[in-house]
């Protein structure tokens, strides 16, 4: 994709990351976010209140995001939404903790959220769309009728 | 680029017409919340407000600048520039981006001003040779920057100064300031001026300020230098991931020593993070890829007044800059006072000059050179 990949990089000495270590290194800034997730989970369980955490707005150093995601792991549910480019939803290995990755049509990341909820908001139909749903179905049931029937 | 009356359709309506679903719109708003440095839970409220927002007419003026600010904006990814221009604002005049040239371009600006009195936004990049400077140092279509700025802001709703040149004079105003460069806020006293500083500013900060204006219909909360608090409320240092090393006294001494390799703090290599207010540490550059300190280079302090003259880029803040930091502040206050005085005396002439705006003549240029 990027020509940058084709520039050979030779690391001569002093590599910070030991090569055999499978765990991503970090600057220690993932830890506070993990505790925030823990508080959010407790709130979700006790009051049903959902939380969104904007991972792009965190002062992460190299390796912090990778470390955070590796601790959270990969869960069972994946979903993708096709609206203004793809949005990928992945449940982490912690039930109720979702990673929502918003991409535009050029696959640039617009936002990256952790959502602590039973169902991420973007998966739900929007209330106004729900209001129009019966009318939309009626229009399909009666394709010849030019006047749309009342929506109730 | 013909001037359009911006008030016909709301943003929600025009997006729906272009086939953008409500879910897609919510996604756009999730990105917009991030862009405005607001919590992601604000996305539905932003969607409700933007749904009803009208597209304001925007006139972008470029004066003594390097085009870096426009370059920066065109690398804004959320939303893309095309989205911004087509859906969110009505960019009626922009030298670098518009297809029209010459008379047609100038007429687009005049039409936009006439069609939207009191409602259009003026965005300025670049500094302006002041009213006492030779007007020939920088002209557009034969008119001095100063005359064009004063004429265009006359009926504007607000002025957004983009980049360190427009906000604080920037490089053109660096000692000895041969062109008499001044900032927008030195010259415009009767309109709200929002400063989006940085050399260049982070693209998402530029679009974030515009999005804030659209969403809430008013200007964001500003700091003492007229910068939006959402983006300039915290120092680079307060949000820097190398901060734990600073707190433990672990500093890289050269760019290639062991400390540098281990990612230690760059303070002793001249990092101006402790005295610089900007959003680089969290918003990052190049679509969120990285930022200067992550790339191993100290912060230059590019979003602060007089950063070109604030001591060497590689001198540690402590010794030279706590002293020169005072100078910077004192100079800033002095600049504001002097600028204010100039502006008052200039304002009397402005009205007459603007009404009979004349191109800069060759005689004038020669007389003042
Ligand atoms: S690198 Fe600069 S901004 Fe980061 S902690 Fe050190 S002095 Fe502060
Ligand atoms: S890190 Fe400092 S010098 Fe670099 S862009 Fe950000 S504020 Fe400017």
Q: Which tens digits make up the pLDDT trace of B157-187?
A: 999 999 999 999 999 999 999 999 999 999 9
Computed over every residue of chain B, the mean pLDDT equals 81
pLDDT bin (cut points 50, 70, 90) of residue B344 is: very low
Distance A71 CA to ligand 2 centre (A): 31
The total domain count for chain A is: 1
Is there a binding annotation on residue B29? no
Residue A9 forms part of a structural domain: no
Q: Which tens digits make up the pLDDT trace of A36-90?
A: 999 999 999 999 999 999 998 889 999 999 999 999 999 999 999 998 889 999 9
What residue spans define the domains of chain B?
Answer: 9-53, 55-228, 234-324
Residue A114 forms part of a structural domain: yes
**Which residue range forms the structural domain that includes residue A97?**
29-128
Residue A109 forms part of a structural domain: yes
8 Å CB contact of B24 and A84: yes
For the CA of B317, the closest atom of ligand 1 is 7
Residue A40 forms part of a structural domain: yes
Question: From the CA of B292, which ligand is nearest?
Answer: 2
In the predicted structure, residue B2 carries a pLDDT above the cut 50: no
Residue A142 forms part of a structural domain: no
pLDDT bin (cut points 50, 70, 90) of residue B366 is: low
pLDDT in the model for residue A38 = 98
Q: Give me the sign of the Cα torsion angle A68, A70, A75, A78.
A: positive
Interface test with B, best of A56, A100, A101, A108 (most B CBs within 10 A): A56
pLDDT in the model for residue B217 = 80
* Gap between the Cα atoms of A89 and B100, Å rounded: 44
In the predicted structure, residue B320 carries a pLDDT above the cut 70: no
In the predicted structure, residue B340 carries a pLDDT above the cut 90: no
Pocket test of ligand 1: the residue of B235, B236, B297 to mutate, having most ligand atoms within 8 Å of its CB, is B236
Whether domain B234-324 has CATH 3.40.30.10: the reply is no
* Gap between the Cα atoms of B161 and B69, Å rounded: 11
Beta-carbon contacts of A116 under 8 Å, excluding residues fewer than 6 positions away, are A37, A40, A41, A43, A44, A50, A51, A52, A53, A96, A97, A98
In the predicted structure, residue B292 carries a pLDDT above the cut 90: yes
Q: Averaged over A79-106, what is the pLDDT?
A: 93
Ligand 2, residues at Cβ distance < 6 Å: B 198, 236, 276, 278, 280, 291-293, 299-303
* Gap between the Cα atoms of A51 and A65, Å rounded: 19
Top-tier CATH class for B55-228: alpha beta
In the predicted structure, residue B252 carries a pLDDT above the cut 80: yes
Helix (H) / strand (E) element for A115: namely: strand A109-116
CATH number at A84 reads 3.30.1370.140
In the predicted structure, residue B224 carries a pLDDT above the cut 90: yes
In the predicted structure, residue A115 carries a pLDDT above the cut 60: yes
The pair of structure tokens assigned to B219 is: 């200007």
For the CA of B293, the closest atom of ligand 2 is 1
Q: Which tens digits make up the pLDDT trace of B66-91?
A: 998 888 887 766 666 666 666 677 78
Residue A16 forms part of a structural domain: no
């Amino acid at each position: 994709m990027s020509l940058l990949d084709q520039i050979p990089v030779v690391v001569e000495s002093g590599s910070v990351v030991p090569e055999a270590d499978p765990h991503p290194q970090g600057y220690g800034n993932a830890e506070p976010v993990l505790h925030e997730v823990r508080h959010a989970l407790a709130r979700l369980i006790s009051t049903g209140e959902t939380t969104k955490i904007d991972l792009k707005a965190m002062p992460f150093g190299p390796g912090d995001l990778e470390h955070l995601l590796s601790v959270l792991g990969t869960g069972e549910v994946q979903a993708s939404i096709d609206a203004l480019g793809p949005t990928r939803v992945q449940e982490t290995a912690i039930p109720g903790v979702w990673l929502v990755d918003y991409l535009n049509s050029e696959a640039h990341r617009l936002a990256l959220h952790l959502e602590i909820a039973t169902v991420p908001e973007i998966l739900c139909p929007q209330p106004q769309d729900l209001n129009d749903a019966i009318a939309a179905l009626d229009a399909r049931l009666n394709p010849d009728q030019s006047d749309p029937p009342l929506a109730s | 680029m013909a001037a359009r009356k911006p008030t016909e359709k709301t943003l929600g309506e025009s997006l729906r017409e272009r086939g953008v679903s409500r879910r897609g719109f919510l996604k756009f708003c999730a990105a917009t919340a991030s862009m405005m440095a607001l919590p992601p839970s604000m996305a539905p409220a932003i969607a409700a407000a933007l749904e009803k927002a009208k597209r304001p007419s925007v006139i972008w003026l470029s004066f003594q600048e390097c085009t870096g600010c426009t370059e920066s904006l065109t690398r804004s990814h959320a939303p893309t520039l095309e989205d911004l221009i087509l859906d969110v604002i009505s960019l009626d005049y922009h030298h670098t981006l518009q297809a029209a040239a010459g008379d047609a371009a100038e007429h687009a600006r005049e039409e936009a001003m006439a069609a939207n009195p009191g409602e259009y936004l003026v965005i300025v990049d670049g500094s302006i040779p002041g009213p006492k400077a030779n007007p020939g140092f920088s002209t557009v279509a034969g008119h001095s920057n100063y005359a064009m700025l004063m004429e265009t802001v006359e009926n504007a709703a607000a002025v957004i100064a983009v980049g360190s040149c427009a906000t604080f004079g920037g490089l053109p105003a660096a000692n000895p300031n041969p062109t008499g460069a001044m900032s927008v806020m030195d010259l415009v006293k009767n309109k709200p001026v929002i400063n989006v500083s940085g050399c260049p500013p982070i693209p998402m900060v530029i679009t974030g300020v515009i999005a804030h204006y659209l969403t809430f219909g008013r200007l964001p909360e500003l700091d003492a230098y007229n910068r939006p608090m959402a983006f300039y409320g915290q120092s680079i240092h307060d949000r820097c991931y190398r901060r734990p090393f600073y707190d433990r006294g672990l500093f890289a001494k050269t760019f290639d020593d062991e400390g540098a390799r281990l990612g230690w703090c760059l303070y002793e290599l001249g990092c101006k993070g402790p005295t610089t207010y900007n959003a680089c540490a969290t918003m990052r550059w190049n679509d969120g890829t990285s930022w200067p300190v992550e790339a191993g280079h100290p912060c230059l302090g590019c979003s602060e007044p007089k950063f070109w003259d604030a001591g060497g880029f590689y001198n540690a803040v402590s010794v030279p800059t706590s002293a020169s930091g005072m100078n910077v502040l004192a100079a800033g206050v002095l600049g504001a006072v002097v600028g204010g005085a100039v502006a008052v005396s200039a304002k009397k002439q402005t009205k007459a000059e603007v009404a009979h705006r004349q191109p800069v003549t060759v005689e004038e240029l020669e007389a003042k050179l």
